[in-house]
With several copies, the nearest count.
Chain A
């Protein structure tokens, strides 16, 4: 199927294709919502990750805390946010990281009304920036 939504810039729409690709990565992330799993992951990250048949690239993205990279590999933000929470990162700090902004800068942008929709509707607008 044609995916019109792929024209939206800086956005990964979590559709069935992404969901399929990211399944084990997302299942790994959601497991961290429970304290006992967080402890097991902390005690031995590699052994804990090995419980989930992720791809090597996904595993590396987890090691690197490559937040956009995880999304690219089929992760969904609500899942990866569980990994961020495990690291003590708030949702706002996580958002900042994904935009490449410093936390303070991102927070200021939000306080001033957030990122404007103008110039952020389609990929062509980003390319012409």
Chain B
């Protein structure tokens, strides 16, 4: 049967993608950001996933204001990197895993999660930046297929932290019941504290971020109860992206070990946070 051994939490700042795509990762501004992913890239080689289930949000790119799904699961054969206004990122097309994706879709819908199934979808930096930082530069293709789960965190209200955590558990049940013997790694992306808009832009709250990461590892149920108001007030209006990490955490065991943590300010407007959690 398929299984989950580990999860990754990771910011998906677009500027990090630009830094990699333009080859400036060694500059003093960026070096501390990428330093934090050195260990992770080795860890990815040592723990090579067969499939990545990647939770992210679209930033008004593939989803316009016409259609706003709370949870959209990518069931297509492949997902093209989207043009976000400055040309698509020069990264390979993302291959899906149609059989596992449809299995998860069926399973979690019967488990009473109200998914939207996407058979055609472009993916923006929210999905490709975490792949880039974790895998490093890649040539013609990504090392494994990816199942994207896009979460609405742009229009209020995002799904609650609790709902995300419960969805993670349902996704885990689905993976555990999939016949093939494959290693599925789960990514939760976005955050950490940041506000991109209006007069309060540039807000960073390292105390909140640290508490979030501590709870994520040690007391995920408490973490999942953080309210939307608290995220927006304490972690900035775009800090609400952190709800997506709870889907990842819900898919892991109750007990996990944090084998890596990295935290750095700033990357462009945001705090960059990153953890690797292994099931215990």
Contact = CB atoms under 8 A, between A and B. Distances in A.
Contact of B198 (A27, A68, A86, A110): A68
Interface in B68-110: 75, 82-87, 98, 102-103, 105-107
Interface stretch (B43-51, B165-173, B204-212, B214-222): B204-212
Interface stretch (A43-51, A55-63, A95-103): A95-103
Given A10-B198, A82-B85, A100-B199, A113 B204 contact: yes
Contacts of B195: 11, 115
Contacts of A17: 102
A5 B232 contact: yes
Contacts of A78: 59-60, 154
Nearest to B13: A91
Contacts of A11: 195, 197-200, 232, 237
Contact of B197 (A4, A12, A82, A96): A12
A92 to B, nearest CB: 5
Contact of A9 (B199, B205, B228, B266): B199
Main SS class of interface, B? loop
A99 B233 CA distance: 17
B85 A71 contact: no
Contacts of B66: 27
Nearest to B178: A1
A54 B98 CA distance: 17
B183 interface: no
Contacts, number: 171
A122 B154 CA distance: 21
Given A5-B232, A30-B60, A33-B83, A114 B102 contact: no
Contacts of B155: 14-16, 19, 76
B85 A33 contact: yes
Contact of B237 (A8, A81, A96): A8
Nearest to A113: B265
Interface string B236-250: 011000000000000
Interface in A103-128: 106, 109-111, 113-117, 120-122
B118 interface: no
B147 interface: no
Contact of A15 (B119, B156, B206): B156
A121 B234 contact: yes
B20 interface: no
Contact of A8 (B60, B82, B208, B233): B233
B154 A1 contact: no
A8 B238 CA distance: 13
Given A15-B155, A85-B85, A91-B14, A9 B200 contact: yes
A13 B237 contact: yes
B86 to A, nearest CB: 5
Given A16-B155, A114-B265, A120 B203 contact: yes
A5 B229 contact: yes
A108 to B, nearest CB: 11
27 contacts: A5-B156, A8-B200, A8-B237, A11-B195, A11-B199, A11-B232, A14-B156, A26-B65, A27-B65, A30-B61, A33-B85, A35-B83, A76-B155, A78-B60, A78-B154, A91-B14, A95-B202, A99-B200, A106-B202, A110-B202, A110-B266, A113-B266, A114-B266, A115-B200, A115-B203, A120-B200, A121-B233
5 smallest beta-carbon distances between A and B, as pairs:
A114-B204, A10-B199, A16-B102, A10-B200, A85-B85
